[in-house]
Structure 1
């Protein structure tokens, strides 16, 4: 196991769980023990497809729908996505619908989609904020090696509580390399909603930074920029909990942890299907 994962390993395998704590807690007479009912357990799901595509309006509009960005599906979905992208060269518009997408892997969207739709590498930045507490420093020591204290001079317009002297900022340069680009010269629209989080929200911020696609729909959820949550073990009970320790700054300078990513064009609708239909009608009329 690499050194980057040692804090997680220690939290998961610590041998100091207090058995006495649980014995005392469970021995209390006022603690009600309810058996778990079978019907309350989640049903086991079969194989689920997170990707779908189609051509609409006599080939004028290409549509890709991604409900998740699973790392384990990259090798499988790359073939399906490559096959579809090879058919859209004559389309005027490409809609990438990620409504309801709670994230997954940044590599999914950067390698499978963006890299095929750029003629040359694109550079962007991930601007991250982390509080300088003991636990955070243990889990991401490399962040603090070149991070600077967050002040109004470094970055203005953020929530006041971030300027209390305990938060640090670091700007990471990132690059998406072009890979066998296809001959598509149409316009790209990334359709998002308030249920878009994590790396899916990061995709929206990438589009806002670089102009690779026009972001349409609703303002995304928060926690779209940052890192995987930390796992820690509570000292008395040994219970494991996760908390998001890292957040970021949007392309427009707003705090992603508070406002999400705002769309370039708002598309309204009572649900994701209606918003998609409204976008299709909007593009069809252009």
Structure 2
């Protein structure tokens, strides 16, 4: 009888314990669903209330139809000679330097897409005159002197695609993520709190500012959704220790803690293939390192496109874009359209400045690098028929797309250009969560062309269009912010821990 009673008690206790863990697990799942629903509601609202930006005022430069450059000029400007010891050490005459500076600002006026957006003649001609007035006082002028002059004079341009002899023009405008995980915070109705010796301490201020300014949603080492201290810092600024003021609401005691911020750490490597696929914890992971083939034998991007319908059958997918600096948009658009089952439209405004110089640069590029003979015939036809001197433009109103699966997208501040275009489209799709740091911010100016200044051989690389994708502001240098901030080198491990903690891989579809 005693044995039966013990068995009964054991069974009841087991049921209670099992019920407790099931309830606890279910509570975790509900918390995660709430987190996802908040992201969806905010994005859906933004998409529904977005309108294409009127960019016509930035396309008012009618001078692109003038014959400002002769064929001889264009041959000189596309006679690419990359820097070597002879070029770097050559001393240039004042007339040679003046000619290069004048060519630079003519190219900007007649070819550069956002010339009017960044101030037009009023700003650019002033900068040109400042350089020309400074040159007579400089003595012997070499390649590096001109490069430095141009970088400093044009530093007002916030354009992630613009470079002068491989030096980015807005490198100091890039924002980097810095963070601290010494104290992990949670949130209740009273604010953000951390636990010290089993006591809640609320963050009343950080760096003498409201604490919510610095609180970022994160994933702890154990996979829990929480908050940590983080901020975006200008690349040219120093990282400094910051003070946290913590208050015990029961005793009203306040203590101060000093924490050091760490830079977001990236561990990206040169890829052997653009796309690789693997499975961890029953979750497929697409690692997309480039939006162009890495070599002539790399067909992984085409395999990637074919994977869409197969991966759509998985409840959870991780897309790892860390380190992807861009390439072409066409293949990821095909993949996304196949995955969702329809063409994706986002709110965007795009203008493209068609000049003779742009066509000439495309022609030279095609002659050197492209095997597409039909493209070269088309470019030559446009030049011969004078099919240039105008703007192309288009506006689209975006839509919100339902998606039953859960997609985690891993991001760092190397993600740029075409891969950021991928981000802008993914933001219109339900149940997509971005994890890591901000992207680089390199979207404003598409359709890059390359020109070589004839005397110094400095290479100018800039775009001939202007574009706003899913935003009405220029995000170059800042990029898209993630939903969950973590040190990007830890992003994959943290997402897998999160999936384990919240039973995500065993969840039903998110709908």
TM tier relative to shorter chain: 0.5 to 0.7
- The structure in which a higher percent of residues are helix is 2
Residues 443 and 468, structure 2, Cα contact 8 Å, conserved in 1: no
- Residue 203 of structure 1: CA displacement? 0.8
- Residue 65 of structure 1: CA displacement? 0.5
TM-score under structure 2 normalisation? Answer: 0.36
Change (3 A) 1:171 1:261: farther
- Residue 68 of structure 1: CA displacement? 0.8
Change (3 A) 1:64 1:9: farther
Residues 77 and 454, structure 2, Cα contact 8 Å, conserved in 1: no
- Residue 118 of structure 1: CA displacement? 1.5
Residues 53 and 84, structure 1, Cα contact 8 Å, conserved in 2: no
* 5+ residue gaps, structure 1: 1-5, 15-20, 32-45, 147-169, 176-183
Query: Aligned runs of 1:157-236 on 2, under 5 Å?
Result: 170-173=393-396, 185-211=404-430, 213-236=432-455
Q: Which residue of 2 aligns with 1:249?
A: 468
For 1:174 and 1:110, locate their aligned partners in 2 and report how far apart those are by CA, in whole Å: 17
Matching of residue 62 in structure 1 with residue 284 in structure 2: yes
Residues 189 and 215, structure 1, Cα contact 8 Å, conserved in 2: yes
Aligned residue pairs: how many?
A: 222
For 1:268 and 1:217, locate their aligned partners in 2 and report how far apart those are by CA, in whole Å: 5
TM-score under structure 1 normalisation? Answer: 0.60
Q: Which residue of 1 aligns with 2:391?
A: 145
In structure 2, the residue corresponding to 1:204 is in which secondary structure? helix
Change (3 A) 1:188 1:240: same
1:207-235 residue CA offsets vs partner (Å, 9 max, x unmatched): 22455833332111011353132212214
Matching of residue 122 in structure 1 with residue 344 in structure 2: yes
For 2:498 and 2:88, locate their aligned partners in 1 and report how far apart those are by CA, in whole Å: 60
Pick the aligned partner of 1:81 from 277, 281, 304.
304
For 2:90 and 2:290, locate their aligned partners in 1 and report how far apart those are by CA, in whole Å: 43
In structure 1, the residue corresponding to 2:496 is in which secondary structure? helix
Higher radius of gyration, 1 or 2: 2
* 5+ residue gaps, structure 2: 1-70, 81-86, 94-138, 143-269, 360-386, 505-511
For 1:247 and 1:257, locate their aligned partners in 2 and report how far apart those are by CA, in whole Å: 12
- Aligned CA-pair RMSD: 4.3
